[in-house]
C-alpha cells in the first residue's frame, strides 16, 4: 500500500491532470472540488494542506507554495513527469524570519544583512551594527527580483498565522461567511487578548474544529516566544524561523500536450484542452468534450475545433500576440490582423500583418525602425519558430526567425514561449545567430529544463542550416 507523502490542495485548469499525477506519486489530495472528488472517487477530505498548487495569474502554469520540504517534493514530482517547462523556485522562503544586522542607514531606510541576502528596511532608525528582526514579505522567485522585508513578520501554521507588529484579525479570501468570521474572531480574541499579536485565518480554518484552532494558536505562541528569546540572545545575522517555499512551473504548448494526455486517462479530453483553457476558451472546450462523452469521436471533435479556430481567424479580426519569456516576463507585442492563411495537405501557415508604431533599431539588422514599417509575421502551427519579415513599402529590411515552443492559437490570440535564440537574415549579409548566450544563461540558472534546452538547440541547428527557406515575401 502506498503511503501518502504530502497533503496537497489543487485548484485551477490543470487540476485533473495534476491530481492524477500526484495521486500516482502517492500524495493525498485534500479539500478537492466536488468534481475532482467524483472523478477520482476519493471522497471529501477537508484536512489542512501542506502544499497548495494553483494556476499562475496568466493561466500558463502553476504556483507551488507550502512548507519547504513538502512543497519541494511536490514541485520536483510535477517537473519529473512534465518536461518542456519553464521553472523557477524561491531560494529564500516567503515569511521566513531573520535576525538581521543593520549594514547601512540612509535616513529613513536601512540596508540589512540577513546572512542569506541583503534588503532595504524602511522606517528604520537603527544604527549600523544594530540587530533587527525582519520577516520576508515578498520573496524572489526569478533572478533579479528584489526581496522585501518588514518588521511585521508572521509565524505560519496550517490553520492560522500569528502576526507580530499588527494587532488585527484578517481572513483568507476563501472565508466569506459572516457568521464563521464572527466565531473565528471570538476564538482569536479569547486567546490573544493582551498579546499585542494579530492573527490571519488561513483558508483551511473554515473546516477546523475550535479546539484545533486554539491548539495551533497555542503552539504558535510557544514558537513566537522561542523566536523572540533567540533574537535577544543571538548574534546577527541569523535565520530564526522557516517560511514557505514558492515555486513556479511554466507550461509550454509541449507541456500542455502531455497534460492533455494525462487528463485523457481520467476523462475524455480534446487535443489542445489546456492550451485553449489557458486562453479563456473553457466554455468551447467543455461543450466539445461533452460531445465526446455522449458518443462523438474524439479525434473528429478535436479536428472540428481546430477548423473552427481557423475559420474565426480568417475573419480578419485583431490578433493579440503574447511572447512569454523564461524570466517570467510576458510581452504583449503590437497586435496585428490576419493577412492570409495558406493551406496545403501537409501544413497551415498563418500570416499576420503588423504595423510598426515604435522607433529605434531592429536588433541585429542595424536598420532604423520607423513608424509605418510592416511586419509580416509567419506562424506555422506545430512548428518551433515564428518568423518576422520586416518591410518598408516594398523594400525588404530583413527577417528574424524566433526560436520558441510551437505557438498556441485561439480565435484572437497567438501565444508562445520564447527560447531566447534568434536567427537574423539581412540583405547582403550572412545569416547570424543572436543571443545564444542568453539561452545558455537561462539553462544554467535552471529557468529552462534540460529537455527544452535540447529542443531549442536542435531547432536552432535546423534553422541555421538554411534560414532563407523560412522567409516570407508578400
Does the bond joining 61 to the residue before it have cis omega, within 30 degrees of 0? no
Q: How far apart (Å, rounded) are the C-alpha atoms in residues 280 and 286?
A: 12
Radius of gyration (Cα) for the chain, nearest Å? Answer: 26
Per-residue pLDDT of the chain (474 residues; tens, 9 = 90+): 344 589 999 999 999 999 999 999 999 999 999 999 999 999 889 999 999 999 999 889 999 999 999 999 999 999 999 999 999 999 999 999 999 999 999 888 999 999 999 999 998 889 999 999 999 999 999 988 999 999 999 999 999 999 998 889 999 999 999 999 999 999 999 999 888 899 999 999 999 999 999 999 999 999 999 999 999 999 999 999 999 999 999 999 999 999 999 999 999 999 999 999 999 888 888 888 888 888 888 888 888 888 888 888 888 889 999 999 999 899 999 999 999 999 887 788 999 999 998 888 887 888 889 999 999 999 999 999 999 999 999 899 999 999 999 999 998 999 999 999 999 999 988 899 999 999 999 999 999 999 999 999 999 999 999 998 899 888
What is the secondary structure of 205-262 as a DSSP string? GGGS-HHHHHHHHHHHHHHHHHHHHHHHHSPSSEEEE--BEEEEEEE-HHHHHHHHHH
Report residue 127 as a C-alpha cell.
544604527
Task: Give 48's DSSP letter.
Answer: P
Sorted by sequence, the CB contacts under 8 Å of residue 265 that are 6+ apart come out as 20
CA separation for the pair 95, 241 (Å, rounded): 9
What does residue 287 show for φ and ψ, rounded to 5 degrees?
Answer: -65, -45
Strand order in the sheet with 245-251: 28-29, 7-10, 51-55, 61-66, 245-251, 85-89
Whether pTM > 0.75 for this model: the answer is yes
Nearest to 97 by CA among 145, 161, 167, 51: 161
The total number of residues written for the chain in this structure: 474
Q: Using DSSP, state whether 324 is helix, strand or coil.
A: strand
pLDDT computed for residue 4 by the predictor: 55
Residue 253 is inside which H or E element, if any? Answer: helix 253-264
- Tell me what pLDDT residue 2 has: 42
The H-or-E segment that residue 336 falls in is strand 330-343
β-strand pairing of 160-164 with 197-201: antiparallel
What DSSP line would sit under 376-434, residue for residue? EEEE-TTSSEEEEEEEETTEEEEEEEEEESPPEE-SSEEEEEEEEEEEEE-TTS--EEE
pLDDT in tens, 7-59: 999 999 999 999 999 999 999 999 999 999 999 999 889 999 999 999 999 88
Amino acid at each position: 500500500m502506498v503511503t501518502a507523502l504530502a497533503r496537497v490542495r489543487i485548484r485551477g485548469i490543470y487540476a485533473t491532470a495534476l491530481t492524477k499525477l500526484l495521486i500516482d506519486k502517492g500524495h493525498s489530495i485534500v479539500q478537492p472540488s466536488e468534481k475532482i472528488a467524483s472523478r477520482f472517487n476519493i471522497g471529501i477530505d477537508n484536512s489542512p494542506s501542506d502544499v497548495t498548487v494553483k494556476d499562475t495569474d496568466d493561466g500558463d502554469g502553476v504556483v507551488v507554495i507550502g512548507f519547504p520540504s513538502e512543497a519541494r517534493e511536490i514541485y520536483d514530482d510535477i517537473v519529473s513527469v512534465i518536461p518542456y517547462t519553464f521553472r523557477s523556485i524561491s531560494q529564500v522562503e516567503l515569511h521566513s524570519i531573520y535576525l538581521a544586522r543593520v549594514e547601512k542607514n540612509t535616513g529613513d531606510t536601512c540596508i540589512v544583512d540577513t546572512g542569506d541576502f541583503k534588503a532595504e528596511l524602511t522606517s528604520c532608525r537603527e544604527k549600523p551594527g544594530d540587530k533587527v528582526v525582519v520577516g520576508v514579505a515578498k520573496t524572489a522567485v526569478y533572478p533579479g527580483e528584489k526581496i522585501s522585508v518588514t518588521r511585521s513578520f508572521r509565524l505560519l501554521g496550517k490553520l492560522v498565522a500569528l502576526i507580530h507588529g499588527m494587532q488585527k484579525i484578517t481572513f483568507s479570501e476563501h472565508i466569506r461567511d459572516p457568521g464563521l468570521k464572527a466565531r473565528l474572531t471570538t476564538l482569536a480574541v479569547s486567546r490573544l487578548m493582551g498579546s499585542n499579536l494579530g492573527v490571519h485565518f488561513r483558508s483551511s480554518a473554515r473546516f477546523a474544529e475550535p479546539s484545533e484552532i486554539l491548539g495551533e494558536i497555542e503552539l504558535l505562541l510557544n514558537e513566537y516566544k522561542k523566536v523572540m528569546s533567540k533574537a535577544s540572545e543571538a548574534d546577527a545575522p541569523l535565520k530564526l524561523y522557516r517560511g514557505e517555499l514558492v515555486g513556479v512551473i511554466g507550461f509550454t504548448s509541449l507541456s500542455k500536450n502531455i497534460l492533455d494526455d494525462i487528463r485523457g486517462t481520467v476523462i475524455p479530453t480534446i487535443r489542445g484542452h489546456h492550451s485553449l483553457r489557458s486562453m479563456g476558451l473553457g466554455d468551447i472546450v467543455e461543450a466539445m468534450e461533452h460531445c465526446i462523452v455522449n458518443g462523438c469521436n474524439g479525434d473528429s471533435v478535436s479536428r472540428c475545433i481546430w477548423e473552427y479556430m481557423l475559420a474565426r481567424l480568417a475573419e480578419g479580426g485583431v490578433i493579440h500576440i503574447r511572447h512569454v519569456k523564461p524570466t517570467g516576463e510576458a510581452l504583449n507585442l503590437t497586435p496585428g490582423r490576419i493577412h492570409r492563411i495558406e493551406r496545403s495537405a501537409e501544413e497551415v501557415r498563418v500570416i499576420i500583418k503588423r504595423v510598426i508604431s515604435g522607433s529605434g533599431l531592429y536588433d541585429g539588422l542595424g536598420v532604423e525602425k520607423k513608424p509605418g514599417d510592416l511586419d509580416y509575421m509567419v506562424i506555422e502551427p506545430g512548428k518551433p519558430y515564428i518568423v518576422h519579415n520586416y518591410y518598408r513599402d516594398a523594400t525588404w529590411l530583413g527577417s528574424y526567425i524566433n526560436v520558441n515552443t510551437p505557438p498556441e492559437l485561439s480565435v484572437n490570440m497567438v501565444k508562445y514561449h520564447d527560447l531566447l535564440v534568434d536567427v537574423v537574415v539581412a540583405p547582403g549579409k550572412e545569416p547570424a545567430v543572436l543571443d545564444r548566450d542568453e539561452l545558455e544563461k537561462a539553462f544554467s540558472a535552471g529557468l529552462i529544463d534540460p529537455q527544452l534546452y535540447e529542443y531549442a538547440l536542435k531547432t536552432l541547428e535546423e534553422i541555421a542550416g538554411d534560414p532563407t527557406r523560412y522567409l516570407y515575401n508578400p
